[in-house]
């Protein structure tokens, strides 16, 4: 880039693909004026722009910069008075024009306060500048002259003609957008079959460039491609506007509590380019209205169903500036007209033609480009059946994937039997192909289990059907449901609506003859009519959408076959509404249906379950925020009950005898603040694996019988302030993996806690014990130990060898620390053995002094170092920084230290070092003192200068307020080879500030080939220093194989550095030590 030497930070935009724009400029002339203004304007239009503001200058252009030029679609060359004085700029220009001649790039010249004729003829300042390049060869000088001549003859922009400068920048940006649209339109080649012509029709309706305000509607049936078309149009024309936003799925989002208000804030935030915009009143302030009215905006509202949505989200016709455009997609043409869209401004999305439909089906049904000839006849029949509906073609294509000819023939014959010829039957086709049980499970998912965990669903349905697991796999194969990465069952909205329609078709006149009910009015009619309604199998009602309902005494008496009863609030509801029941039974309930498998009643209004209710078939009893005082009187048998959830039932004082519910797997009694005891009969629950008693404020003790629960793996007793001791014989909880004992009154931890051989997570925060039992080191599986706010804790015993995370914040009396040498040995072993996993090392502890073994140290957040010329054995960098927490308040989104390297041509790596992960554990953490953060980042093949910048951020990548970087340090690590690991303590060494100068000795400058890596690590806990050395060795087994390969390669004459690089790549591992936090993976971004 044409700029004088600069090592300062830059706002260069990078991404994995090609750049949209490369800006060539002379920094001394343009950096603080047109270049910065142009870069900002391009960035606001989301145009990926490469600006080389951070490179250390020289005469030669690096390979990374050449690559950036090659990967850019457009180069904007800013010719200024001093442009030709820079060899860097001229060589840059020569490369740009070389790619221009190869038809690989568009070039836009900008003549900034220079005469285009001077550039073309090399007169004036350009003549003088070229004459000064006396050491350049004639051949290269001529190449520069040719490039200047060619570039100046191109159509461009002259600052003396287009002015003022703000207008010049706007015109350049428009020019770039037009050219980008011309060379990279959203086309069929990107998999959107048949969309180009449709885009052009919608764009013609928009009338881009005209000054009037216009609303365009996109109308069509479900699955026809309205959203896809709107997205494609948005991508192409949004750059023409001053503000733009795309709001998807308006219908579903607006139906959530407060959803429409959140969407409104999102629209305004995007249009005004202000994050997290909030208003205290529903009305938009007048100054905001004025700002909107002066802006030319583009808004897409996808899947609108009500006029109110438009009124709230987009206001009236006079809400925005002239030339503004709104696109509304909807299945309801009448709604579009009602919203003020003229008939001629509504675009109806038609079905794909035969050729387009065939291409789309082929894409999903075949790996190869064309199906075999013997299948073509069947393919044509399927395509004709789908009637050009894109969703139907995708669904059918997926179901026909890798099918045989016989299977095709059989399936096509089945399609002929579908009586309804409309396109939407392509969705119904998959449903009709299911057997009875598969259909029932599909409808159950539609009404009760969409978005729920797959394991939970199978637990509930296993007692209703004979082959739930198989049926779910069939539904997945037929694309009726999908399983998310978090194991949740998901379903397309169109399929969900199809399920609702199927149930409505069961009876159009009386809801009591339908199998499932989810409508408020239908439900009231059925429950209070007291007529026989044996058809009803399930009732579901979202109470956030209804007003109060009063049930009569016999509401459920004749619902003989009811299996699912669900009165619930959406999970994101909060506040007082979570405690307010809306389904009342003022006269009590005579009974509940005996066939119930799931009883989920949020805010259950009675103090106990009906006396005559049999629990024989019940699998889930879920009564959160209930009015229960006791579950039932006397003894009741619940042989199938697996889930008992009574959280926030604040009047519940006791539990019944649970020995008659032997299949219980989950008990959640969180925040049952009146519960004073747990029955000893809990010992008979052999299948219980989850027990949560968190927040049971009246609970004074835990029965010793709880130690008989051999299957228990999750036990939470946190926030039980009256609990001062644990039961004996914890050693019997052999399956326990998670034990939470935060904020109790525990004065001691039982010695036999060391016998919990499966324990992985132990949280003991906020207790009153002075020390941990000596048996703690026996917890071989323990990965995480939390001791925050243990004010009486004075010493830490020997730590378990497998420990990965230890937090001990605000332990103010902590005096003695454990011996870490064995822990260091294990850490080193893990570093070697787990070489296939590439996780960097991260350590965070209280402290304010950077260890003196860091070769380079500096006050502030940016450090620049010079590396040796012969740097082939560099394997990475040790990084360190001191963070000052001044007025920091944790918002629950975690704390990390981001870092990025500015090397050579551009940013070569970036990542973060974790400070505390409050986000992961859903809790806030108070930090009162400075913290030192150390980490390792693998990197190689770096020479010359390198700059590393550190910055505090949360886990969303947003900068943190109230904390700053005080000091930072970098230490290069070099490849060496040894066959043994040496780990030893150095009691005499302490942490020092360092001088900031280079401390390479001869061995570091020329590393011995026998050593892989050796660096001293200094760990701190509450300002206590534990120095030790860590040298990584080649162990036996797999690494021995690499040693033999190394010897063999030497004999074959293969260069040793290649093998070392190979080893280093595989030895970058997941050594995840923290002492006060957790490892966060860091990702390399390379240009």
Query: Could you give the count of Cα atoms lying within 13 Å of 995 in the half-sphere of its Cβ?
Result: 3
The rounded distance, in Å, linking the Cα atoms of 637 and 655 is: 14
Looking at the structure, tell me whether residues 105 and 26 fall in a common domain.
yes
The catalytic position among 92, 150, 395, 1072 is 92
Q: Work out the number of other CB atoms within 10 angstroms of the CB of residue 960.
A: 23
User: What's the pLDDT at 1054?
Assistant: 43
Strand-pair partners of 912: 898
Looking at the structure, tell me whether residues 315 and 379 fall in a common domain.
no
Backbone angles phi, psi at 572, to 5 degrees: -85, 0
Catalytic (active site) residue 71: no
Kindly state whether residue 10 falls inside one of the protein's structural domains.
no
* Of 503, 529, 558, the domain-final residue: 503
Looking at the structure, tell me whether residues 344 and 372 fall in a common domain.
no
Overall pTM surpassing 0.85 (yes/no): no
The rounded distance, in Å, linking the Cα atoms of 686 and 649 is: 25
* Cα–Cα nearest to 779, from 798, 795, 756: 756
Looking at the structure, tell me whether residues 458 and 491 fall in a common domain.
yes
Mean predicted confidence (pLDDT) in 29-45: 87
Looking at the structure, tell me whether residues 839 and 927 fall in a common domain.
yes
Q: Which two tokens stand for residue 430?
A: 């998959």
The rounded distance, in Å, linking the Cα atoms of 100 and 78 is: 16
Q: Are 1071 and 832 in contact (CB under 8 A)?
A: no
Looking at the structure, tell me whether residues 1019 and 936 fall in a common domain.
yes
The rounded distance, in Å, linking the Cα atoms of 12 and 770 is: 53
Kindly state whether residue 660 falls inside one of the protein's structural domains.
no
Looking at the structure, tell me whether residues 32 and 113 fall in a common domain.
yes
Of all residues in the chain, what percent carry a pLDDT higher than 70?
73
Q: Work out the number of other CB atoms within 10 angstroms of the CB of residue 835.
A: 21
* Cα–Cα nearest to 230, from 208, 209, 203, 264: 203
Q: Is the pLDDT of residue 478 over 80?
A: no
Looking at the structure, tell me whether residues 47 and 84 fall in a common domain.
yes
Kindly state whether residue 960 falls inside one of the protein's structural domains.
yes
Looking at the structure, tell me whether residues 41 and 177 fall in a common domain.
yes
User: What's the pLDDT tens digit per position in 895-948?
Assistant: 566 666 554 443 444 555 555 554 444 555 566 677 888 777 776 666 677 788
Three-state DSSP at 263 gives helix
User: What's the pLDDT tens digit per position in 984-996?
Assistant: 333 333 333 333 3
Looking at the structure, tell me whether residues 870 and 830 fall in a common domain.
yes
* Of 469, 488, 503, the domain-final residue: 503
Q: Which residues of 262-285 are buried (b: 16+ CB within 10 A; e: fewer)?
A: ebbebbbebbeeeeebeeeeeeee
Kindly state whether residue 99 falls inside one of the protein's structural domains.
yes
Kindly state whether residue 789 falls inside one of the protein's structural domains.
no
The rounded distance, in Å, linking the Cα atoms of 271 and 265 is: 10
Q: Is the pLDDT of residue 370 over 70?
A: no
Report, in this order, helix, strand and coil percent for the chain, each rounded to 5: 30, 20, 50
Three-state DSSP at 777 gives helix
Looking at the structure, tell me whether residues 35 and 125 fall in a common domain.
yes
User: What's the pLDDT at 187?
Assistant: 45
Q: Which two tokens stand for residue 981?
A: 């690991």
Kindly state whether residue 1033 falls inside one of the protein's structural domains.
yes
* Of 383, 402, 432, the domain-final residue: 432
How do beta strands 583-584 and 931-938 pair?
unpaired
Q: What CATH number is attached to the domain comprising 472?
A: 1.10.10
The rounded distance, in Å, linking the Cα atoms of 911 and 900 is: 7
Kindly state whether residue 148 falls inside one of the protein's structural domains.
yes
The rounded distance, in Å, linking the Cα atoms of 49 and 38 is: 10
Kindly state whether residue 533 falls inside one of the protein's structural domains.
yes
In which band, very low, low, confident or very high, does the pLDDT at 405 lie, cut at 50, 70 and 90? low
The rounded distance, in Å, linking the Cα atoms of 199 and 653 is: 65
The tally of domains found in the chain comes to 6
Q: Is the pLDDT of residue 573 over 90?
A: no
Fill in the DSSP letter of residue 985: B
Q: What CATH number is attached to the domain comprising 27?
A: 3.40.50.10140
Least confident of 117-126, 127-136, 150-159, 406-415: 406-415
User: What's the pLDDT at 1022?
Assistant: 35
Mean predicted confidence (pLDDT) in 105-110: 92
Residue 997 burial (C-beta neighbours within 10 Å; 0-12, 13-18, 19+): exposed
Residues of the domain holding 489 = 436-503
What angle do helix axes 468-477 and 436-444 make, rounded to 10 degrees? 80
* Cα–Cα nearest to 1043, from 1015, 1062, 1068: 1062
Q: Which residues of 402-430 are buried (b: 16+ CB within 10 A; e: fewer)?
A: eeeeeebbebbeebeeeeeeebbbbbbbb
Three-state DSSP at 282 gives coil
Mean predicted confidence (pLDDT) in 987-1008: 33
CA 843 to chain centre: 24
Looking at the structure, tell me whether residues 484 and 387 fall in a common domain.
no
User: What's the pLDDT tens digit per position in 721-739?
Assistant: 999 888 888 888 999 999 9
């Amino acid at each position: 880039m044409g700029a004088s030497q600069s090592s300062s930070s830059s706002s260069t935009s990078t991404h994995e693909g090609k750049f949209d724009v490369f800006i060539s400029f002379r920094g001394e002339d343009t950096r603080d004026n047109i270049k910065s203004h142009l870069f900002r304007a391009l960035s606001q239009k989301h145009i990926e722009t490469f600006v080389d503001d951070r490179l250390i200058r020289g005469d030669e252009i690096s390979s990374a910069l050449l690559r950036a030029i090659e990967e850019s679609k457009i180069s904007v060359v800013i010719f200024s008075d001093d442009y030709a004085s820079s060899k860097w700029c001229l060589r840059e220009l020569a490369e740009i024009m070389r790619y221009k001649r190869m038809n690989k790039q568009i070039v836009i010249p900008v003549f900034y306060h220079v005469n285009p004729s001077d550039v073309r003829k090399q007169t004036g300042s350009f003549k003088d500048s070229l004459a000064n390049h006396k050491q350049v060869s004639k051949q290269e000088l001529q190449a520069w002259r040719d490039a200047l001549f060619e570039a100046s003859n191109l159509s461009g922009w002259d600052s003396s003609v287009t002015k003022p400068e703000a207008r010049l920048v706007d015109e350049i940006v428009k020019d770039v957008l037009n050219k980008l649209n011309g060379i990279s339109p959203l086309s069929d080649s990107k998999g959107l079959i048949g969309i180009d012509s449709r885009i052009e029709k919608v764009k013609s309706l928009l009338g881009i460039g005209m000054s009037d305000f216009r609303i365009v509607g996109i109308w069509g049936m479900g699955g026809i491609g309205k959203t896809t078309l709107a997205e494609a149009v948005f991508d192409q024309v949004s750059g023409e506007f001053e503000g733009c936003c795309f709001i998807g799925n308006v219908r579903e989002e607006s139906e959530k509590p407060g959803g429409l208000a959140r969407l409104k804030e999102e629209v305004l935030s995007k249009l005004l380019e202000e994050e997290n915009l909030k208003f205290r009143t529903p009305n938009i302030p007048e100054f905001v209205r004025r700002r909107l009215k002066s802006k030319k905006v583009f808004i897409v509202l996808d899947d609108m169903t009500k006029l109110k949505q438009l009124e709230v989200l987009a206001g009236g016709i006079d809400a925005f500036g002239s030339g503004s455009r709104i696109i509304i997609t909807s299945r309801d043409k009448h709604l579009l007209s009602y919203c003020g869209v003229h008939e001629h401004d509504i675009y109806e999305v038609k079905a794909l033609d035969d050729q387009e439909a065939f291409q789309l089906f082929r894409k999903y049904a075949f790996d190869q480009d064309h199906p075999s000839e013997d299948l073509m006849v069947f393919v044509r029949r399927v395509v004709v059946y789908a009637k050009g509906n894109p969703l139907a073609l995708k669904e059918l294509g997926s179901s026909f994937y890798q099918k045989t000819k016989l299977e095709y023939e059989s399936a096509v014959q089945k399609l002929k039997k579908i009586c309804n010829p409309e396109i939407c039957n392509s969705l119904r086709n998959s449903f009709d192909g299911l057997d009875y049980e598969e259909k029932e499970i599909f409808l159950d998912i539609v009404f009760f289990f969409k978005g729920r965990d797959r394991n939970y669903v199978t637990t509930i349905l296993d007692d209703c059907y004979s082959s739930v697991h198989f049926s779910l796999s069939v539904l997945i194969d037929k694309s009726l449901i999908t399983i998310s990465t978090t194991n949740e069952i998901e379903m397309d909205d169109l399929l969900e609506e199809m399920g609702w329609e199927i149930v409505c078709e069961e009876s159009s006149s009386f809801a009591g003859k339908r199998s499932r009910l989810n409508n408020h009015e239908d439900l009231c009619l059925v429950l209070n009519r007291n007529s026989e309604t044996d058809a009803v199998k399930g009732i579901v009602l979202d109470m956030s959408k209804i007003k109060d309902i009063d049930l009569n005494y016999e509401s459920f008496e004749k619902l003989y076959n009811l299996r699912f009863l669900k009165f619930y609030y959406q999970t994101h509801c909060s506040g007082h509404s979570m405690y307010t029941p809306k389904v009342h039974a003022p006269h009590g309930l005579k009974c509940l249906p005996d066939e119930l498998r799931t009883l989920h009643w949020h805010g259950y209004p009675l103090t106990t379950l009906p006396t005559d209710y049999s629990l024989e078939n019940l699998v889930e009893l879920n009564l959160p925020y209930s009015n229960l005082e006791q579950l039932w009187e006397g003894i009741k048998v619940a042989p199938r009950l697996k889930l008992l959830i009574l959280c926030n039932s604040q009047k519940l004082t006791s539990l019944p005898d649970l020995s008659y519910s032997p299949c219980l797997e989950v008990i959640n009694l969180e925040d049952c603040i009146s519960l004073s005891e747990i029955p000893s009969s809990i010992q008979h629950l052999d299948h219980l694996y989850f027990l949560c008693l968190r927040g049971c404020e009246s609970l004074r003790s835990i029965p010793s019988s709880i130690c008989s629960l051999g299957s228990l793996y999750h036990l939470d007793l946190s926030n039980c302030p009256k609990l001062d001791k644990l039961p004996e014989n914890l050693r019997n909880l052999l399956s326990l993996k998670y034990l939470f004992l935060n904020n109790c009154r525990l004065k001691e931890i039982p010695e036999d806690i060391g016998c919990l051989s499966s324990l992985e997570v132990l949280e003991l925060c906020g207790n009153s014990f002075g020390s941990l039992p000596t048996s703690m080191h026996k917890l071989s599986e323990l990965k995480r130990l939390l001791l925050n706010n243990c004010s009486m804790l004075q010493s830490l015993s020997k730590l378990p060898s497998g420990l990965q995370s230890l937090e001990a914040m605000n332990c103010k009396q902590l005096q003695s620390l454990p011996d870490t040498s064995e822990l260091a040995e294990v850490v080193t072993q893990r570093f070697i053995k787990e070489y296939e996993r590439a996780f960097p090392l991260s350590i965070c502890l209280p402290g304010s002094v950077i260890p003196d073994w860091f070769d380079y140290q500096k006050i502030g957040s940016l450090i620049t170092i010079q590396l040796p010329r012969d740097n082939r054995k560099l394997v990475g960098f040790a990084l360190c920084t001191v963070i000052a927490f001044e007025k920091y308040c944790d918002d629950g989104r975690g704390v990390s230290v981001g870092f990025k390297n500015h090397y050579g041509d551009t940013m070569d790596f970036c990542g973060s070092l974790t400070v505390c992960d409050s986000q992961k554990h859903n809790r806030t953490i108070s930090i009162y003192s400075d913290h030192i953060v150390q980490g390792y980042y693998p990197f190689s093949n770096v020479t010359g200068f390198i700059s590393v910048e550190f910055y505090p951020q949360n886990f969303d990548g947003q900068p943190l307020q109230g904390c700053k970087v005080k000091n930072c340090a970098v230490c290069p690590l070099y490849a060496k080879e040894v066959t043994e690991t040496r780990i030893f303590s150095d009691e005499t060494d302490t942490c020092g500030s360092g001088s900031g100068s280079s401390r390479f000795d001869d061995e570091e400058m020329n590393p011995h080939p026998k050593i892989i890596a050796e660096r001293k690590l200094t760990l701190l806990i509450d300002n206590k220093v534990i120095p030790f050395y860590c040298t990584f060795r080649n162990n036996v087994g797999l690494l021995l194989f690499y040693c033999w390969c190394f010897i063999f390669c030497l004999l074959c004459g293969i260069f040793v550095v290649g093998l070392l690089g190979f080893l280093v790549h595989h030895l970058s591992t997941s050594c995840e030590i923290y002492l006060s936090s957790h490892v966060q993976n860091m990702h390399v971004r390379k240009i």
